[in-house]
Amino acid sequence: MAHDSAHLDLPPVSFDTAPERYHHWKLSVAGAVATLTLQVDRDAPLRPGYDLKMNSYDLGVDIELADAIRRLRFEQPQVRCVVVTGGVPKMFCAGANIKMLAGSAHGFKVNFCKFTNETRCEIEDATAHSGQRYIAALNGTAAGGGYELAEACAEIYLIDDGFSAVSLPEVPLLGVLPGTGGLTRLVDKRKVRRDVADVFCTKAEGFRLRDALKMRLVDGGWPKSKWDQAIADRSQAIVAANGAQQPELGIALPAVARTQVREGELETLAWPHVALRIHHDKRWCELTLRGPSEPAPQTAEILHAQGAAAWSLQAFRELDAALLDLRFNYPKIGLILLKTVGAPDAVLAHDAAITRLRAEGAWLAREIQLHQSRVLRRLDNMSRSMFALVEPGSCFAGTLLEIVWCADRAYMLDDPDGANAIALGHVHAGTHAAHNGMTRLQIRLYGDPEGLAKLQEMHGTLDAPTAEKLGLVTRAPDDIDWEDEVRLAIEERVSFSPDALTGMEQNLRFAGPENCDTKLFGRLTAWQNWIFQRPNAVGERGALPMYGNPQAPVFDWNRT
């Protein structure tokens, strides 16, 4: 299998897994309570070269966690409480594996942090929108990323055994930051006082239950003799607080299969609804999403019968797979050309059906739209330049039109026959919020409240000149200029410094007010990206390579 990491003699990363193939997590479901137990197989790292000691994790551990979270939402919708706990005595989780971090390429480390952030955001999303409340049952020490995983849960409980503690030791021990939201969730979510957080983040050994409670680092705890029963009681209290729940039959999530062909410098990855054409020599790719060809499901029964094969779900699962493939396996591809093929009316019909069924109480319709929103946010987070190309035959309508507003630029052909159009739908009013809680239409017209108010009253198709005038696309060249303008824009973009582009795009994409999520992906990604390249962290005598060595790391003491 060809991929851009081939020169490192490393296999491509696969995100295809299932509970029966997990190495590191055990998922059990008893009625309305699910338990996720972390028991890392130290001899099963994602890549060779390190042992996963002390219940530490690498990307492979988090791929399984992300899969379990997704399956609980679609396959076990009756679950109302998810207990996240450890399967190793006295150690819930020691955080990210240090040998893995020290031995990984820079880009892999950054993408690893980004993926784990997205996974933790999905835990919070499930708690907020799916009625699946996560609680962290820390039956041992939670250090670094282990505590960050706990922070993503709605409640944190720590065993009182005279040994177990919570800590964020990255700054004093490793010379880096907690990479999966630890700092931000500490002060923004748990509302720990800033000076208290400063003490916590610089005390490598952390704090046991008594002090952790005082500092608001945990929500409670019990001695070992009462631990199991207390966690069980709290789980049942959560179920009871959610009200009587009727048993609901979930749907299976089969693997998202694809084909792969490479001919010279052109490589094609194809799913039923998504095609990814990678031009290795040009360093750009075309990502095309095909609209629905089957009628929209008109009843909850029909939607449930379609299950994972429903276009609104299957197409976005495929898009998600394509984005993750690009992110981890094709780091040299710097520009994504976003395209669609199909009938706009069909997209709008599926949007309307899913929205109506959700309003009528169909849990699967709700989960489908929530999944679409998560994939769109994953697209927002891509460290690639993105141009949307709206051409005749496109179906940038409704939910798929959101892709145009995820892009850094949108080019729309002013077709002389008037056949090229985009189509506004009801989903732009709030169905698919961006990370800061605003709609992409609000973000796009952040400085034009009058224009936004006008657009919110509009529905239906818009031609290229109208879309450009309303600010919905960047440029609308005519058929004479189209080919040259798009070609020059592509050639110019791939000639720029990737580092500068990543920094620029991360700043520009998060317009509007900040919240916890935008800090994670806009601010944390940028600073962690910088710190991971500094000699103090990764140099020959930096903190990461020297971790566990009797000699102290050597720092450049200049502040920058």
CA proximity to 178, closest of 186, 192, 190, 168:
168
CB 428 within 8 A of CB 372: no
Same domain flag for 375 and 278: yes
The radius of gyration of the chain's CA atoms, rounded to the nearest angstrom, is 24
Instruction: Tell me the HSE value of 350 on the side-chain side, using a 13 A CA sphere.
Output: 25
CA distance 176 to 432: 34
> In this predicted model, which residue has the larger pLDDT, 410 or 110?
410
Please compute the mean of the pLDDT values over residues 271-292 and round it to a whole number: 98
Same domain flag for 399 and 448: yes
The residue among 210, 241, 272 that closes a domain is 241
Residue 319 belongs to some domain of the structure: yes
pLDDT on residue 246: 63
Residue 555 belongs to some domain of the structure: no
Number of domains the chain is built from: 2
> In this predicted model, which residue has the larger pLDDT, 410 or 518?
410
pLDDT tens, residue by residue, 209-257: 999 999 999 999 999 999 999 999 999 999 999 865 666 789 999 999 9
Please compute the mean of the pLDDT values over residues 181-187 and round it to a whole number: 92
pLDDT tens, residue by residue, 112-124: 999 999 999 999 9
Same domain flag for 379 and 472: yes
Residue 559 belongs to some domain of the structure: no
Please compute the mean of the pLDDT values over residues 466-472 and round it to a whole number: 95
pLDDT on residue 8: 44
Residue 49 belongs to some domain of the structure: yes
pLDDT on residue 7: 36
> Which of 247-261, 360-374, 453-467 has maximum average pLDDT?
360-374
Q: pLDDT above 90 covers what percent of the chain?
A: 79
CA distance 458 to 252: 38
Same domain flag for 305 and 364: yes
The residue among 187, 211, 241 that closes a domain is 241
Res 5 pLDDT > 50? no
pLDDT on residue 245: 62
Residue 475 belongs to some domain of the structure: yes
CB 117 within 8 A of CB 60: no
Confidence of residue 1 (pLDDT cuts 50, 70, 90): very low
Residue 455 belongs to some domain of the structure: yes
Res 21 pLDDT > 50? yes
Instruction: Provide the token pair at 286.
Output: 């075309």
CB 438 within 8 A of CB 377: no
Predicted model pTM: 0.95
CA distance 503 to 505: 6
CB 220 within 8 A of CB 157: yes
The domain of 372 spans: 259-500
Average pLDDT, the chain: 93
Angle (deg, nearest 10), helices 344-359 and 311-329 = 110
pLDDT on residue 524: 66
Sheet of strand 259-263: strand arrangement: 259-263, 266-270, 274-279, 284-290, 335-341, 385-390, 409-412
Res 6 pLDDT > 70? no
pLDDT on residue 460: 86
pLDDT on residue 531: 81
Please compute the mean of the pLDDT values over residues 189-212 and round it to a whole number: 97
CA distance 282 to 56: 39
Same domain flag for 220 and 121: yes
Residue 92 belongs to some domain of the structure: yes
Instruction: Provide the token pair at 283.
Output: 């360093």
Res 358 pLDDT > 80? yes
Residues catalogued as catalytic: 148, 170
Element (H, E) at 133: strand 133-138
- Burial of 114-141, coded b for 16+ CB within 10 Å and e otherwise, reads bbbbbbbbbbbbbbeebbbbbbbbbbbb
Same domain flag for 190 and 270: no
The residue among 212, 241, 270 that closes a domain is 241
Confidence of residue 4 (pLDDT cuts 50, 70, 90): very low
pLDDT on residue 251: 97
Same domain flag for 311 and 359: yes
CB 138 within 8 A of CB 114: no
Same domain flag for 355 and 472: yes
Same domain flag for 311 and 342: yes
pLDDT on residue 507: 83
All residues at 6 or more sequence positions from 513 whose CB lies less than 8 Å from its CB, including other chains: 436, 438
Same domain flag for 231 and 120: yes
CB 407 within 8 A of CB 485: no
User: 56: which strand partners?
Assistant: 95
Same domain flag for 288 and 367: yes
CATH number at residue 118: 3.90.226.10
Calculate ∠ Cα 376-524-505, nearest 5°. 55
- Of 120-124, 129-133, 528-532, the one with minimum mean pLDDT is 528-532
Q: State whether the Cα torsion 88-169-196-206 is positive or negative.
A: positive
Same domain flag for 283 and 361: yes
pLDDT tens, residue by residue, 296-325: 999 999 999 999 999 999 999 999 999 999
Res 174 pLDDT > 60? yes
Residue 527 belongs to some domain of the structure: no
